[in-house]
A and B are shown apart, each in its own frame.
Chain A
Amino acid sequence: MAALIEAIGLTMRFGGIVAVRELDLAVNQGELVGLIGPNGSGKTTTINMLTGHLSPAGGRIQLRGERADGLPADRFAMRGVGRTFQITQLFSRMSVLENLLVPGLVRPHSTWDAARRQARLHLEFLGLAALEAAQARTLSGGQQKLLELGRALMLDATILFLDEPFAGVNPYLRDEIIRLVQQLHAQGRTFVVVDHDLEAIQRLVHRLVVMSRGQKIADGTVNAVRDDAEVIRAYAGV
């Protein structure tokens, strides 16, 4: 069976710098994958390519077996690829509810009533129901991360890329995010989570992919990757 999303020889260059070099990565339906690596290892660039926010300089992306590289981000979103960002990206001066209505109304046959109902269900699930009329910019950092997650859920995304979901989040909300991701994963959603918080990510994922200097250096179970000599070397900087 074809992977849900697959990167084959994916390469990205910024001027003379190769940010990602010939990366092969396949994520299957229902997996919960952690993508880790030291700063500048190319994790966010990889996510940006796999969600259409960057066009790869080389290689290709297969989404459910179909070629998808070069498609714009909105086409990825409409094909069920959701994401959150390293630095939270919201519609700051729009209400919490409107932030979810935007993805809820992008499909031509969607209606306002149905989108509102769906948005309120997600806000309830995320614990943000009481804040639906508040402007997004007034939320705390953790609540903004949750709202971003809600936006991806509104797309009915089958695969979600979470870029540093625990960065700048207090321990209580971090545990809450872990609980919500586990719950969504149990419902059948596929996740790729990027983070520096190794403790949190080990609690969450089943498979770890490690990148260093734009290349994949390890891919396996959490235990196997944790003991990998090359991974230790990359993190220790030796």
Chain B
Amino acid sequence: MRSGNLAGLGCILLVALVFPFLVDTYWQTVGILAIFYAIVAASWALLVGYAGQFSFGHMGFVSLGAYASALLVQWLAIPIPLGMAGAVVLSTIVGAGVGFICLRMRGPYLAIFTMAFSEVLRIVLLTENEVTGGAGGLEVAPLFHTRSNLPSYYLALGLLAASLGIMSLMVASRWGLFFRAIRENEQAAAAGGVRVVRFRVLVFAIASGFAGLAGTFYGPFIGILTPDIGSVDQMGIVVAMAMIGGAESLPAAVLGAFFVEWMYEALRAYGEWRLVIFGALLLLTMRFARNGLLALAWNQAVRVVPAWRRTQPAGGAAE
């Protein structure tokens, strides 16, 4: 990783660590939700930005993880972390299954299929109200029995750091190279010996697993689950986050999630008009910065660090 990238990530981590001590409880909650969305946006970026598999059903896996974790804990009376682990495994397996079924689908067909999967899941969760609570919601036991947001905040931050670390290692490895090759040209990848079927299923499974992980955290934090978590509206927000940030870069997708979540709260006074603002921002991104507005800004910023170093005299930085 470039020194500028490391310095940038270090700064963000430092700000994230002290953030809850600088703000009130309301903004702590916003911060936790931003981190939840950041995990979802980063895993969507892995699937779409790196591997080119445009899924519009990613929030379906978030709701699958959330409901599966809550129901496992409720039915089997197991500790919440065990329920979370079980739900992540289930999301990964279902993700692999969906990935396998859509092997022959590309572009809009894949997007429509995955959206249909997510909608079917949402409607099942809505209809099976004896099990899921339906529209009334499913109550979920909290992870931490305290009024403070701090334990949840740092757990979320830990989950994000771990997710981002694992995904970054993956994209820097030969798997990441193969994912990008599949994104660029599946026929050429196959001619180059890449097992396209295996890697397409793999990336679906992994991205779905991380989406499920985000869901398993969301339930105990919010305390109640409704099927709307897997709605198309929610998916639209995640797409906006990743695209405005930059879907071909994991840190940029995370920054996109922070930025959009912050804007969503900062522009609350504008009511539904803030969605119009997001739409306009997304249009501008697609027109002028397809790799993401924040990725553009990030790349400019990380160039500053090595350039600044070169200007310093040998033996250390200037005073």
Contact = CB atoms under 8 A, between A and B. Distances in A.
Between B177, B188, B194, B195, the greatest number of chain A beta carbons within 10 A of the residue's beta carbon is seen for B188
Nearest to A105: B174
A92 B191 contact: no
Interface stretch (A95-103, A182-190, A196-204, A217-225): A95-103
B193 interface: yes
A106 interface: yes
Contacts of A89: 185, 187-188, 191
Given A72-B190, A77-B190, A85-B187, A94 B195 contact: no
A101 B193 CA distance: 11
Given A102-B177, A102-B178, A105-B174, A77 B191 contact: yes
A82 interface: yes
Contact of B187 (A53, A106, A107, A155): A53
A90 B191 contact: no
Contacts of A51: 191
Contacts of A93: 184
Interface residues of B, number: 18
A98 B193 CA distance: 14
B190 A92 contact: no
Given A91-B181, A91-B184, A94-B181, A102 B190 contact: no
Contacts of A105: 174, 177-178
A155 B185 contact: no
Contacts of B181: 91, 94, 102
Contacts of B178: 102, 105-106
A73 B186 CA distance: 11
Interface in A47-73: 51-53, 72-73
A216 to B, nearest CB: 24
Nearest to A90: B188
A71 to B, nearest CB: 11
Contacts of A112: 174
Contacts of A31: none
B189 interface: yes
A74 interface: yes
Between A72, A91, A107, the greatest number of chain B beta carbons within 10 A of the residue's beta carbon is seen for A91
A114 interface: no
Interface string B168-208: 00000010011011001101111111111100000000000
Nearest to B199: A74
A91 B188 contact: yes
B188 A155 contact: no
Interface string A158-179: 0000000000000000000000
A78 interface: yes
A51 B190 CA distance: 10
A106 B195 CA distance: 8
Interface in A4-53: 51-53
Contacts of A151: 188, 191-192
Contacts of A91: 180-181, 184-185, 188-189
Given A91-B180, A102-B178, A78 B185 contact: no
A122 interface: no
Given A74-B196, A98-B177, A105-B174, A82 B184 contact: no
Contacts of A207: none
A83 interface: yes
Contacts of A152: 191
A74 B188 contact: no
B104 to A, nearest CB: 13
A53 B190 contact: yes
Interface string A97-134: 01001110111000010000000000000000000000
The 10 closest A-B pairs by CB, nearest first: A106-B193, A73-B190, A91-B184, A77-B193, A103-B192, A89-B188, A105-B174, A102-B181, A102-B192, A74-B190
13 contacts: A51-B191, A77-B190, A82-B191, A85-B191, A102-B189, A102-B192, A103-B193, A103-B194, A105-B177, A106-B192, A106-B194, A151-B191, A151-B192
Given A52-B190, A85-B191, 20 more contacts: A53-B187, A74-B189, A77-B191, A77-B193, A85-B187, A85-B188, A90-B184, A90-B185, A90-B188, A91-B184, A92-B184, A93-B184, A98-B180, A101-B177, A102-B194, A103-B193, A103-B194, A106-B178, A151-B192, A155-B193
Interface of A: 51-53, 72-74, 77-78, 82-83, 85, 89-94, 98, 101-103, 105-107, 112, 151-152, 154-155
